[in-house]
Structure 1
Amino acid sequence: MENRADIDSPQIYARAAGWLYLVVIAAGFFAEFFVRERLINYGDASASAHAIMANGLLFRLGFSADLATIVCDIPMEMMFYLLLRPVNKHMALLVMLFALLGDATMAASELHGFAPLLILGDSPYLTAFSTSQLQAMALLNMHSLTAGLVASMVFFGCHCFFLGYLVFKSGYLPKIIGILIVIACPCLLINSFGYFLAPGLIPEFILLPDLIAELALCVWLIVMGVNIAKWKESARSVRGHASD
């Protein structure tokens, strides 16, 4: 008789990944659109500084939400690896590594996201700078944060290509979602390299396919999970080849 845990584990991984994905999407959306879009005027250092100091708690919540996306993404990528390794173990590992590189880039960039609170504070050593200098440095850090987040999308774009391929080939997740995730890859790469090579020329809606793909995978994992019978069949096939 098959171990019950072996039967249920892929569905547990799928649901866990789906809920973690939901937190990642929601926290990222909150930090970007309810905090930075609301408080930061990237062309006006003074207005941005006043908005940050007047909404300190909201700014801190946005920073914390960014950290939450990284914290949740790491175990989520492990769930993806466990779910997709029956398709191709080495490619599933590559998916996880690209995502972790993106997470590491985001984590380093987040130091710039917290810096404005330190720069605009009332510490005695800050008196060496004028108010306009401090405001300019605070905004510079927000620009650096944006550059870091955009750079991380290069790794996440590569991650999407291999993730989409594995989803498409799996047989226990919808092929259409795999196709959507693969389409998200060039969109993320064009957005990132366009930001650095041709600033201002890439429209924001180029990221829409990525949002659709991520939401589709997230909702499917939460609501439907995986086809356990096909997942087990794929896993048995891998074990069979390994024992040959």
Structure 2
Amino acid sequence: MTPTALDTAKPDVSQRSINFTTWSPRTAAIVAGVSLAVMAVLGGFGNFGAFVPLITPGDAVQTAHDISGAPFLLFAGIVSFFIVAILDVVVAGALYTLFRPVSRRISAAAAWTRTVYAVLLVVATSQLVIGFSLLGDPEAALPVLESFNKIWVISLGLFGFSLLLVGYLAFRSGFVPKVFGILLAIAGIGYLADAGGMLFIPDFSALFAQFMFVGEVAIIFWLLIKGRRLPAN
């Protein structure tokens, strides 16, 4: 059947749904909010439910024993983090669309910074896969497994910088309460401080971000609740 002129003029709905630049502010806010909420659950499970219990810093034998006894838990955590990395790219696009009217350039910088972070998160998570393949030699496996956390925390510096930019955009937006922008900027500073500590301070343990994450939680609720009231086109 030959398509009519009217048929060919109709936009492809599936293409519009994939192209985040065509999303309305409401759609962008809801997509970002849902993705961030899912990421919070998966990230928390992967780190605190799988990696922290299974990887004992400085103890190769114990780590090999724990992972060998629960390999599926490790791989569940790995899959969770790979999904988080994908959702990070989705959030980057959604927030770009949401804050593009405030500043196209700063929104793009925040989106690209978060996307590069997502790539580095995949690199960090892949170290866990490599470390698992080396479990036959625990002493060789442990440094690779431990490198996951180091690479991740250092790459969180990029994530923190993107939060600083988004915090600025939220503060300037006029439709997001300024306090959320301030809290996001504070969270970004926490991640930057942890990344700097990991880079320059021997035996540093990330500690700042865990006390400055309030802005990240608050913006999820704002996006899911107040974001539904944003324009639909």
TM range (shorter): 0.7 to 0.9
1:33-182 matches, within 5 Å, as 33-120=48-135, 134-182=137-185
The alignment status of 1:190 with 2:193, answered yes or no, reads yes
Query: CA contact under 8 A between 2:154 and 2:198: conserved in structure 1?
Result: no
Q: Which TM-score applies when normalising by structure 1?
A: 0.81
Counterpart among 214, 223, 226 of residue 212 in structure 1? 214
Distance in 2 separating the partners of 1:227 and 1:92: 21
Give the match's secondary structure for 1:215: helix
Preserved CA contact (<8 Å) 1:164 1:180: yes
Equivalent AA in structure 1 for residue 221 of structure 2: V
CA contact (8 A) 2:29 2:94 kept: yes
Q: Which amino acid aligns with 2:222?
A: W
* Preserved CA contact (<8 Å) 1:81 1:93: yes
Report the Cα offset of residue 59 of structure 1: 0.5
Does the 8 Å CA contact 2:157/2:191 hold for their aligned counterparts? yes
1:202, distance to aligned residue in structure 2 (A): 5.7
Shift of residue 65 of structure 1? 0.5
Q: Is the 8 A contact 1:180 1:209 kept in 2?
A: no
How many pairs does the alignment contain? Answer: 212
Q: CA shift at 1:43, angstroms?
A: 1.6
Supply the distance in 1 between the matched residues of 2:229 and 2:173 (Cα, whole angstroms).
Answer: 10
Seen in structure 2, the aligned counterparts of structure 1 residues 154 and 176 have a Cα distance that, compared at 3 Å, is same
Cα deviation, 1:112-165, whole Å, max 9, x if unaligned, reads: 111122112xxxxxxxxxx5xx10121111111111101211111110111100
| RMSD between superposed Cα atoms in Å | 2.0
TM normalised by structure 2 equals: 0.85
Where 2:101 maps in the other structure, the secondary structure is coil
Consecutive unaligned residues of structure 2, counting only runs of 5 or more, are: 1-15, 17-22
**8 Å contact from structure 1 (residues 173, 227) kept in 2:** no
Q: Which amino acid is the alignment partner of residue 113 of structure 2?
A: F
Contact residue 113 and residue 145 of structure 1 kept, 8 A: yes
Partners of 1:164 and 1:211 in 2: how far apart?
13
- What's the secondary structure of 2:56's corresponding residue? coil
Q: How far is the alpha carbon of 1:56 from its aligned partner?
A: 0.6
**In structure 1, distance between residues paired with 2:114 and 2:50:** 24
Contact 1:81–1:95 under 8 Å retained in 2: yes
SS in 2 for 1:69: helix
1:226 CA displacement: 6.1
Shift of residue 203 of structure 1? 6.1
Runs of 5+ unmatched residues, structure 1 = 121-130, 233-244
Q: Which amino acid counterpart does residue 180 of structure 1 have in structure 2?
A: L
Question: Within 2, Cα distance between the matches of 1:21 and 1:218?
Answer: 6
Equivalent in the alignment of 1:9? 24
Counterpart secondary structure, 2:24 = helix
Deviation string 1:176-234 (CA, Å, 9 cap, x unpaired) is 11000111222111111111211345662x113442111111111112216536x98xx
Would you say the 8 A contact 1:172–1:227 is kept in 2? Answer: no
Are the structure 2 counterparts of residues 203 and 152 from structure 1 closer, same or farther at C-alpha, using a change threshold of 3 Å? Answer: closer
Residue 38 of structure 2 aligns to which amino acid in structure 1? V
